[in-house]
Amino acid sequence: MLVFIKYIEMINAIPMEINDDLLISSLLGEATLAQDKQIEHWRNEDPANENRYMQFKLIWEKSLELRYPGKTDAGISLNRLKQKIAAQTTDELEKKEQQVVDHTSTARKVVRISSLPYLARIAAAIVLLAGAGWLYTKQFAVSEVEFLTLKTVQADTLSDGSVITMNKNSLLRYPNKFSGNQRQVWLTKGEAFFNITPDKDKPFIIYTGSTTIKVVGTSFNVKNKRDQIEVIVETGTVQVSRNGKMVSLIPGEKVLVMRQRADLIKEKNSDRLYTYYRSNEFIADNTPLWRVVEILNEAYDCRIVIGNKELEDFQLNTTLKFKEESLDQLLDVITSTFKIKIEKKANQIILY
C-alpha cells in the first residue's frame, strides 16, 4: 500500500491542467464525450501530459488484474486507508489525501471527504489494491517493455514466441519474460494483431481500456480507438469481457465494446479491410463504399466524406495497394469505378 501511495505522490509532482478527478472519471468510464475529448487534446499538447496520463492508466490497468474475494464497504475501507496513511506518512501527506479536485471549476478546491460520495468509489478501487498489495508490488517489480509505434507498422516477438504486429500510433506494454500462470499484456492505445503461441497452462490475457481479452492459442485483431474497442477473430476462440459481461468469439466473428453502452455487441465480420496494415492491401469484396472510406481515413489520416448518401452502400469489388499507390491514385480507382466526382475543399475530400 505504501508503494501505491508513494507512486501517486510521484505522479502528483508533475504539473498539469487537467485535474486528477477528471482523469479518474475517464479511467472509470464515467467521463462525458466532451471531457474525454478535452483529455485527448491535453495529452497531445505535451509529452509530460501523456506520460502523466499513462502512469494513471497503468495503475488502473494493474488493479484490474487483482481479485479481492471479500466484500468491500467503501466507507469503512476509506477510514482504514486514512489510518494507514496517518501511520506511515507525514502530516502533509495526510492533508493531501483529504483533498480532491472539483472538476466543475478550473480552480482547485479543498473538499472534505465526508461530504463527497464520489470519493467512496475511488476508495473502493484503492482498497482493491491494498487487499493484494504484495501482488501489486511484485508485478510492478517485473521488468516491462514499452512497445510504441509512431508513423510505421512494426512487429515484435514476445518471450513465449507470440508475434504482435502493431499498427502506427499504438502502444503495448508487456513483461520481458512471462511468469506465473498467465501471460498478461496491456494495449493502451491503437491497434495490434496478435498471433498467440498455444499454452493451455498459461492463458494469454490482454487488458485494453476496461476490457479483458482471454485466449490460449489463436490469432485476432484488437483496435482501441475513438471510444470503442473492436476485436476480430481469425483463428481459435477468444473470450472478451467487461464489467461482468462476457462473449466468446470464433473465426469470422467480432465484438464492439463501446464506452457509452453497457452491452457487448457481437456480430459477423463482413470484410477484410482491417488487415490492410499487415497485408499492405485494401481488400474490398463487395464492400460498401462507406466502409472503404472509413478505412482510407484511418490509413491515410485524412478526411474523406460522402456528399451523396445514395453512394454510401455502393459495392466495391477490388484490391487496392496500400503502400505502392498514393491516396489520389486510390481515389481515382473509386471515382472511375462508380463514375462519381471528387472535390477537395479545405481539409475535406468530398465524393459526390
Per-residue pLDDT band for 34 (boundaries 50, 70, 90) equals: confident
Start-to-end C-alpha separation, the chain: 60
pLDDT at residue 10 tops 90: no
Tell me which of 144 and 199 has the higher pLDDT: 199
Residue 321 in grid coordinates:
495497394
Model confidence at 294: pLDDT above 60: yes
Q: What is the DSSP letter of 29?
A: T
pTM (predicted TM-score) = 0.62
- Does domain 143-268 sit in CATH 1.20.1070.10? no
State the pLDDT at residue 125.
Answer: 54
Lookup result for grid cell 478505412: 295
Domain boundaries, the chain: 2-140, 143-268, 273-351
Among 203-207, 251-255, 297-301, the minimum mean pLDDT is found in: 297-301
pLDDT at position 161: 95
Per-residue DSSP letter, 143: -
* Residues with Cβ within 8 Å of residue 18, at least 6 apart in sequence: 38, 39, 42, 49
User: Which residue(s) pair with 228 in the sheet?
Assistant: 225, 258
Share the mean pLDDT of the chain.
Answer: 76
The model's pLDDT over 221-280, given as tens digits with 9 standing for 90+, comes to: 999 987 789 999 999 999 999 888 899 999 999 999 987 788 899 999 989 999 999 999
Instruction: Judge whether 143-268 and 273-351 match in fold.
Output: no
Task: Identify the helix (H) or strand (E) that includes residue 61.
Answer: helix 47-65
pLDDT digits (tens, 9 = 90+) for 121-147: 555 555 555 554 444 444 445 688 889
Distance CA 322, CA 318 (A): 13
Cell of 50: 501523456
Rounded CA-CA distance 292/315 in Å is 10
205/259 Cα distance (integer angstroms): 20
| pLDDT band, residue 12 (cuts 50/70/90) | very low
Angstrom distance (rounded) from CA 308 to CA 300: 22
CATH code, 273-351: 3.55.50.30
As a whole number, mean pLDDT of residues 25-31 equals: 69
Residue 29: per-residue pLDDT: 66
Does residue 218 contact residue 235 with C-beta atoms inside 8 Å?
yes
Tell me the pLDDT tens digit for each residue of 164-176. 999 999 999 999 9
Q: Which of 35-44, 274-283, 287-296 has the lowest mean pLDDT?
A: 35-44
Distance CA 88, CA 82 (A): 10
Residue appearing with cell numbers 481515413: 297
Q: What is the pLDDT of residue 105?
A: 36
Return the pLDDT at 196.
96
Exposed / middle / buried, residue 162 (Cβ in 10 Å: 0-12, 13-18, 19+): buried
| pLDDT tens digits along 84-126 | 444 544 444 444 444 433 433 333 333 333 334 444 555 555 5
- Residue range 307-321: mean pLDDT, rounded: 90
Residue 150 or residue 101, greater confidence: 150
Per-residue exposure over 308-340, b if at least 16 CB sit within 10 Å of its own CB, e if not = eeebeebebeeebebeeeeeeebbebbeeeeeb
Contact indicator for 259, 227 with CB cutoff of 8 Å: yes
